[in-house]
Chains A and B, each alone.
Chain A
Amino acid sequence: MPSELKESFREVVWAIAPLTLVVVLLQVSVIHMPGVDFMRFLVGALLVFFGFLLFLQGVKIGLLPMGEMVGAELPKRAGLPVILLTAFLLGFLVTVAEPDVRVLSHQVDLVSQGEIGKNLLIVTVAMGIGIFVCIAMLRIILGIPIAYLLAAAYLAVLALSFFTPPDFVPIAFDAGGVTTGPVTVPFVLALGIGTASVLGGRSTMADAFGLVGLASVGPVLGVMLLGIVYR
């Protein structure tokens, strides 16, 4: 076994073993769930283990370099309008494709008694992400401190949470988390790191990260506004 694979193997054992052990310990000590459920959990843990191993290897040689190259190429080759259009489209399309958004839209359908249709919600969340990915890219390029943007966005969220119908508040916060799936995160992280790397001269760490964080505010604001409008 090559040493790099061995290293990954050890890393994944350390990732999955604790959770599996805790559930096994709980099972034998206090929980005693039915045998079938427990068996399925163990088989699931095996799948999760091998899946994690392949995923980590694949992301390191696939999604990460891809995102970094696109991110580094973007400010070199394209003008600001093209960069912003790309950022918006990326955020929008990734969100529409994200399966979690569908689950969310179903729950909103329930809470609003069908008044807010699934497509309306998906478009709202996707627009929120698209706009905030744009803002985040603009920030990296213009060198605006992230603290100002985050402070403004979250203060707006807090203010809106008092006007949003109570049923919508937890859903709105949840909407921020749905588009950060395991496919999107590595690519978007790498995209930011790539873009920041060609705009040298400032603190790279501060510019390289924050794209995912800023993008997740968009849908929170979007869903809250939707809730207010539909009250």
Chain B
Amino acid sequence: MNELLEFLEVEEVLVEVLAALGPLVLLFAVFQVFFLKLPRKYVFNLLKGLLLSFLGLVLFLQGVKVGFIPAGARMGEILGGFAQRWVLVPIGFILGFVATVAEPAVRILSYEIEKTSGGAIGSRTILAVLSVGVAFFVALGMCRILWGVPILYFIVPGYLAAVLMLKFTSPAFISIAFDAGGVATGPMTVTFVMAMAVGVASVMEDRSPILDGFGLISLVALAPILAVMGFGLLYTMRKGK
């Protein structure tokens, strides 16, 4: 039972979330006092929202920390010990997909895209494109760990392709694509999937858990950039017809 009680030790996560909120609240307070001067009732509603997101994020991060990370690491160790290690590739694909679907910031981004585009680009479409992109690159990342391919072999052609695609993609999709790259590396994808990658690397010989774990994050950041720009190209082409 003791091991389950660890869930109650939220102090660290509490401090983390408070620290992250701090500068934003400060900036808003300065604006409120000097420029915005919103009515008290309105500010009260905003604060209610802040409190909700604070509590929500503490619960979420605590759940990831004490439930998902240990499970991810254990899964990685067990799968890394398998005779047929190739199963890590399809499993990485599926986990990459479902972890991105469960990522809070990805949700917010696709929600904002739907709102700003006046519904032209649906939030589910963006979510699907992003998740498939990340799934594909997590699978690639697993291949990389299994066969020990240097990370630069993926990163350099990947970003070169991204720079090339800039020339053909419409500006709206470029902006969205690079935002998506930053957003996909959130607490669920990075911590859970990385815990698994580190678990795999730790049971294999000649693998450095730290470096292999790192490499996966840079792939997860690259994936949505390529996926969303690719989607943008198709979207513009279809619209042009």
Contacts and interface: CB of A to CB of B under 8 A. Distances in A.
A9 B17 CA distance: 23
Interface string B21-59: 111101110010001101000000111111111111111
B122 interface: no
B80 to A, nearest CB: 11
B22 A213 contact: no
Interface string B187-205: 1101000000000000000
Given A145-B171, A150-B178, A63 B166 contact: no
Contact of A54 (B21, B56, B188, B221): B56
A62 B48 contact: yes
A97 to B, nearest CB: 4
A61 B47 CA distance: 9
- B contact face: mostly helix, strand, loop, or mixed: helix
A145 B64 CA distance: 38
A146 B175 contact: yes
Interface residues of B, number: 105
Size band of the interface chain A makes with B: 35 or more
19 contacts: A48-B60, A54-B56, A55-B53, A58-B50, A58-B53, A62-B47, A63-B50, A65-B49, A66-B24, A70-B28, A70-B36, A89-B27, A93-B22, A93-B26, A182-B104, A182-B105, A209-B172, A210-B176, A210-B178
Interface of B: 3-4, 6-7, 16-17, 19-24, 26-28, 31, 35-36, 38, 45-64, 66-68, 70-71, 74-75, 78-79, 87, 91, 94-95, 97-99, 101-102, 104-105, 107-109, 111-113, 116-117, 151-152, 155-156, 159-160, 162-163, 166-167, 169-172, 174-183, 185-188, 190, 210-211, 214-215, 217-218, 220-221, 225
